[in-house]
Chains A and B, each alone.
Chain A
């Protein structure tokens, strides 16, 4: 089918009444959960994951995706008004968003971040539409050695460029791979590290791990540290949102730069919206003529990261849908939803399930438009939600975490795992170990082991296969470059960002 045929097929699928409904549910819940600090996108999607068992597969993905990019819109609200990031991807927005709110320009900041989100999202969708089919075509000729190298690149990119100590990041990746190896070995049926516990035979549930390390740990840290909102929602009139001409002039270039950075890091497996926002902010600050304005309410400092994280939200579907490699834990849950419905992720997905792929892509446009409506005229509703004291919110969130985890497999053991991983998550937070690499290692680990063992089987046990194959060698040299670069330059960059 030709390109425009695909687009119209997708639009047709996305505009069906049930898909429109689920798209709305997704972006609505995404905004809602994004606004509430302590519920990241991963916890949000884990909570709603069980619901998708009862849905048609395209609708299920449209809804999950809506939550995914919806949280990025909603997350900036808490960043700007409370100085507490709604989701990690919006953390950077605090730096200049909160000072804007203190100067009485909170309404402008909220409006402009929505604009940035929409622009970033749109650019991301265009890139996804153009590149995903090309990459899928290319990927059909890739073997296990290439897949292994690509996933290795993802893991190295995730830890090497991210915030904090690179050694700690790699430790987390390896621990994640170890946790992922628990359960039944696919080749021999051996139970690994199950210690006679029958529930461990099927492996650790991703939902339980994610809920514990992200959801519960975040809640424990947030209780007592989140203050109630003093912002009056009556201040948020449409008139107060109107940006000045100076704001507009300063905003469009950072938005374009942010969107490009976001699109790139979103498509690279292992990196994602949080990192994209962080880098976009750093680039904006470095390229600014007057860097001292940053941190005091510079509009560039909210536009670049907000467009970057939304662009990354969209392009992160490129590795997920074109290669079947989840670039982030959230994407792993999306693939999980596909597998449960009997759809095999991989480069053949686009040709075998065109209405699923193109319907999903076109639903992104609809979802982004819905989000603009949800976030501009209805912003007062979300702000009122932030006025609910946190000590009333967290028991609600916790109940959903427990019941949501329980409902995936009707397993009380999974809830117990949430507690254990919650404790681990707090410990990691206190010792400054990043959580995202752990989950990514957990997700990619089993796939990497599978491809590694297959590649070694094909090469008769010769490691050179990873270097002799040109695509694999290229990917590995990029990975090696990132690794070297991270050791030498992130220290410097981080110092510059925290000091200035």
Chain B
């Protein structure tokens, strides 16, 4: 099996499992109803079963193909950008706009090795100014610039 398209086989099986979980959850937690009067569980259960079926098809397709090179992931931009967004979402409601943008830009700029600290600081200043001008003043949105809410 290892000389087959292992990526598709595994993704397919994972999808099949996900589909079955969705179908099982929907049919046990929500009312299925009848075909004429469908309850909230009927359609999600159907979707889950179709996903499971497609997952199996994908696995079979993968098993019939020779091995494909594993896709590589560049971890640096991935972790830096996702981490920056996570920090932003945690920071905005607690400490306000300015610290949130500071954190977001500082962390995400690590995604690219070429950015130097001076440039990053200038970028942060520019972005904070732009955010306040556009979102606070031009659009009149009510995001606190600084706050302390823990």
Contact = CB atoms under 8 A, between A and B. Distances in A.
A167 B54 contact: yes
Interface string B17-49: 001001001100011001111111001100110
Contacts of B19: 174
A178 B135 contact: no
Interface string B99-129: 0010011001101101100010001000100
Contact of B54 (A171, A185, A413, A422): A171
Contacts of A453: 38, 43
A402 interface: yes
A23 B123 CA distance: 30
Nearest to B138: A51
A62 to B, nearest CB: 18
B101 A399 contact: yes
Interface centre among B40, B93, B104 (most CB of A within 10 A): B40
B89 interface: yes
B86 A178 contact: no
B7 interface: yes
Contacts of A353: none
A220 interface: yes
B81 A220 contact: yes
B139 interface: yes
B40 A392 contact: no
Nearest to B18: A175
Interface stretch (A271-279, A282-290, A363-371, A456-464): A456-464
Given A177-B47, A422-B82, A223 B54 contact: no
A395 B127 contact: yes
Interface in A385-405: 389-392, 394-396, 398-399, 402-403
Contact of B119 (A219, A392, A416, A430): A392
B73 interface: yes
A178 B47 contact: yes
A223 B112 contact: yes
A223 B77 contact: yes
Given A178-B48, A407-B141, A412-B92, A224 B71 contact: no
Contacts of B104: 395, 398-399, 402
Chain B contact residues: helix, strand, loop or mixed: helix
B4 to A, nearest CB: 16
Interface centre among A398, A403, A407 (most CB of B within 10 A): A403
A175 B81 CA distance: 25
Contacts of A422: 81-82, 85
Contact of B40 (A190, A398, A403, A456): A190
Interface residues of B, number: 63
A403 B22 contact: no
Interface in A163-186: 165, 167-168, 170-171, 174-175, 177-178, 181, 185
A395 B106 CA distance: 9
Interface string A431-463: 100000000000000000100110011011101
B54 A399 contact: no
A181 B81 contact: no
Contacts of B50: 174
A144 to B, nearest CB: 13
B48 to A, nearest CB: 7
A193 interface: yes
Interface in A369-428: 389-392, 394-396, 398-399, 402-403, 406-407, 410, 412-413, 415-416, 418-419, 422-423, 426
B15 A171 contact: yes
A223 B31 contact: no
A415 B131 contact: no
A399 B142 CA distance: 17
Given A224-B112, A431-B11, A399 B143 contact: no
Interface centre among B44, B71, B119 (most CB of A within 10 A): B44
B112 A419 contact: no
A192 B140 contact: no
Contacts of B141: 50, 407
A54 interface: yes
Given A171-B15, A178-B22, A187-B40, A223 B111 contact: yes
Contacts of B35: 456, 461, 463
Contacts of B38: 453, 456
Nearest to A427: B73
Contact of B43 (A54, A216, A220, A452): A452
Contact of B131 (A174, A178, A394, A403): A403
B36 A188 contact: no
B82 A419 contact: yes
A419 B142 CA distance: 23
A121 to B, nearest CB: 29
Interface in B42-65: 43-44, 47-48, 50-51, 54-55, 57-58, 61
B43 A449 contact: yes
Nearest to B93: A412
Interface of A: 50-51, 54, 165, 167-168, 170-171, 174-175, 177-178, 181, 185, 187-188, 190, 192-193, 216, 219-220, 223-224, 389-392, 394-396, 398-399, 402-403, 406-407, 410, 412-413, 415-416, 418-419, 422-423, 426, 430-431, 449, 452-453, 456-457, 459-461, 463
6 contacts: A175-B51, A177-B47, A187-B40, A406-B89, A406-B92, A412-B93
Given A185-B40, A407-B139, 11 more contacts: A167-B61, A178-B44, A216-B81, A223-B111, A223-B112, A398-B85, A415-B88, A431-B11, A431-B71, A453-B43, A457-B36
